[in-house]
Structure 1
Amino acid sequence: MKAAQIFSYGAPDVLTVTEVERPEPGPGQVLVAVAASSVNGHDALVRSGAAKVISGRRFPIGVGLDFAGFVAATGPDVDSVRAGDPVWGTVHPREKHAIAGAAEFVVVAADRVGPVPVGLSALQAAALLVPGITALAALRGATHMEAGERVLVRGAAGGVGTAAVQLAHAFGGRVTALARARHTAALTDLGAECVLDYRQTAAEETGLFDVIVDTVGTDLARYRRRLTKSGRMVTVGLSGPAIAAIAASTVFGSRRIRTFSANPRAAQLTELAEQVASGAVAPVIDGVYSLNDVASAHHAFDKGGALGRQMVQIAGSDATGQ
């Protein structure tokens, strides 16, 4: 089977598609035939070496946090899914993987997969999984957003940003999106009441907000000052300066900058699937690349400025295994 791996850290060109032995599921595990994966910030961190505290220095290392496809086989003691079931899921983000989601097959614990939402192809499911889970956790878990509140989504054109705009709108929020001007129409269609060009709008010019969802990870202290007295802010764009800003903000109590690490299991996948079924959120895809062209997908991710996700299609996106 083929798998995208790195044998050294660096720019996207270090990615190599290699022939490896197909893994076999052990007790409590499932083997998934992967139809699609996406490029996440986690993948870029692993590839570049910025996450080597997790991935270490022993190669090869697989890339691809998420995946969608169908169950090819199950190990002993698995009764939650059966061979042929269409599923989506993630590898564990805090573990090193020689084979991860950007591969023809991947083995994960059975509780790390769930049924693909009805109406989504595998390609669409893989595009939505991590952004949707992250946006849900930011709005429901970290900030407890309520209907009628003013919500600022910073980095609104990215994967998490587009999901956050949709979900905040669906939950009754009055959404302002910070993104490139060329994405104004698309973000308005997704539910933003106002779209501001981040290159032309200073933080101090954005207004005041009850909830701020940041996906960028810079200038956090300036944006925290845009919170109302009862406002809450969460960032999913972590860096050295971001961590320092988060630590410094703890003196502000409820108006501190929150963060979290999304690590979805079956329950979170089910919750996101319910939001898909209700029409609250849908995937947004920018580019689709073959597994052999995975480096180009990473180049597009690193370049930024796109609307939605960069995808790696590994098999027919509507494959179900049945």
Structure 2
Amino acid sequence: MRVALYDQYGGPGVLYEGTLPKPVPRAGEVLVRVHAASVNGGELTARAGKVRLVTALMDRGFPKRTGTDFAGDVAALGAGVSRFRIGDVVWGVLARAFGSMAEFVVVPADQLARTPVGLDLVRAAALPAVGTTAITALRDKARIREGERLLVRGGAGGVGSVAVQLGRAYGAHVTALAGARHLDFVRDLGADEARDYSTTAPRDLGRFDVVLDTVGTGMADYRRLLTPTGRMVSIAFDSSRVLRSLGYLVASTAFGPRRVRFFSGNPRHDLLAELARLTESGAIRPVVARTYPLAEIAHAHRALQAGGIGGKLVITVAGSAN
């Protein structure tokens, strides 16, 4: 099968389209024919080798794979799987691994769910990782309540664009920080206020009950904006200062009020099903900025790395039986 690979850490140019044997599902697993997969920021960080010290124990050597979430159809079932049938249209997120940029992936059955009714697979592929992250951050970690004030850093990005919509659906007053060219974009997603991050200092923003940080830099400055009972959830850290950033997260999680919540996503069936429900209800809509064929995976990484994108970049994969 065709698959995106890289043989060394580095810039987007290390990525290439190679081949690997098609995987075979074991008991409890499902073989999914991938139709599309999205590009996420963590994949860029891993490809560049910026977190190799953190992931050393899980490092399996080269060649390495990329891609986290996907949408496709069920191609084969492992023993004991009864929730799905061949041909079911599904989406999912690989747990603590990369490899969705391929014609086929093997996934535990409890990490899959059916895609929202009426949503095509390219748009569906834009949601699993960012959508489940936003739900976990706001609903489970921050426990956001109706009427609270929410600040979303990186409101035009993958997670941020979903969080803006979700915050509005949960009844919060949403302020989104984004680039100047994307202010109308985040307002259209449902932000009550949209501010240019390049010209807005944290001290000019006021107080918030919840801060969702998708950027990872200057976290202490944004933590100071919390009300006495405020909660800050971070899904990113400064990749140029990995150990220092992780140290701050650990300290702020363990000590004092207004603690920072940090988590690594590992969505199961129920969370993916909730994302499908929210999408079908109209509370969340995927935003695909651009699509690329699998052979242009390096171009997609380069575009996301350059920044300035509103929404998601999606890789289209032509599944085959080979």
- Could you say which TM-score interval applies, normalised by the shorter chain? over 0.9
Q: Which residue of 2 aligns with 1:36?
A: 36
Residue 21 of structure 1 aligns with which residue? 21
TM-score w.r.t. the length of structure 2 is 0.93
Cross-structure match for 2:4: 4
| Corresponding position of 2:209 | 210
Query: Structure 2: which 5+ runs fail to align?
Result: none
Moved more, 243-252 or 209-218: 243-252
Where does the alignment leave 5 or more consecutive residues of structure 1 unmatched?
none
Q: Say whether residues 1:86 and 2:86 are aligned partners.
A: no
2:66 maps to amino acid: V
Q: Distance in 2 between matches of 1:222 and 1:252?
A: 17
Per-residue CA deviations over 1:206-239 (Å, capped at 9, x if unaligned) read 1111110000001111101111111111110124
- 1:130 corresponds to: 129
Q: CA deviation at 1:247?
A: 2.7
- 1:237–1:64 distance in 2 versus 1, CA, 3 Å: same
Matches within 5 A, 1:139-158: 139-158=138-157
The whole-number CA distance in structure 2 between the counterparts of 1:116 and 1:164 is 19
Give the letter aligned to residue 64 of structure 1.
Answer: G
Paired position in structure 2 for 1:160:
159
Q: CA deviation at 1:50?
A: 2.6
Greater shift, 65-74 or 35-44, is seen at 35-44
Deviations 1:30-51 (A, max 9, x none): 1110000011122112211234
Paired residue type of 1:278: S
Q: Deviations over 1:60-85 (max 9, x none)?
A: 11111111000011111111111100
Query: What does residue 60 of structure 1 align with?
Result: 63
Question: 2:26 is paired with a residue of what secondary structure?
Answer: coil
Q: Which residue of 2 aligns with 1:101?
A: 100
Counterpart in the other structure of 1:120: 119
Deviation per CA, 1:245-286: give whole Å up to 9, x if none. Answer: 223324663401111111111111011111112211111111
Q: Map 1:277-288; keep pairs closer than 5 Å.
A: 277-288=280-291
Question: In 1, distance between residues paired with 2:303 and 2:257?
Answer: 37
Output the amino acid matched with 2:303.
A
Supply the AA of the counterpart residue of 2:124.
A
- Give, in angstroms, the shift of residue 150 of structure 1: 0.7
Change (3 A) 1:57 1:9: farther
**Structure 2 Cα separation of the partners of residues 162 and 62 of structure 1:** 26
Q: Secondary structure in 2 aligned to 1:21?
A: coil
Q: What amino acid sits opposite 1:128 in the alignment?
A: L
Rounded to whole Å, the distance in 1 between the matches of 2:292 and 2:31 is: 23
RMSD between superposed Cα atoms in Å: 1.7
Partner of 1:232: 231
How many Å separate the matches in 1 of 2:268 and 2:48?
Answer: 26
Match of 1:269 among 267, 272, 288: 272
* Letter matched to residue 43 of structure 1: E
Runs of 4+ in structure 1 deviating by more than 6 angstroms, as ranges, are none
Give the TM-score normalised by structure 1.
0.93
Over the matched positions of the two proteins, sequence identity in percent amounts to 47
Matched with 1:49 is: 49
Q: Structure 2 counterpart of 1:313, which letter? A: T
| Matched length | 314
Cα distance in 2, alignment partners of residues 288 and 250 from structure 1: 38
Secondary structure of the residue that 2:198 maps to in structure 1? coil
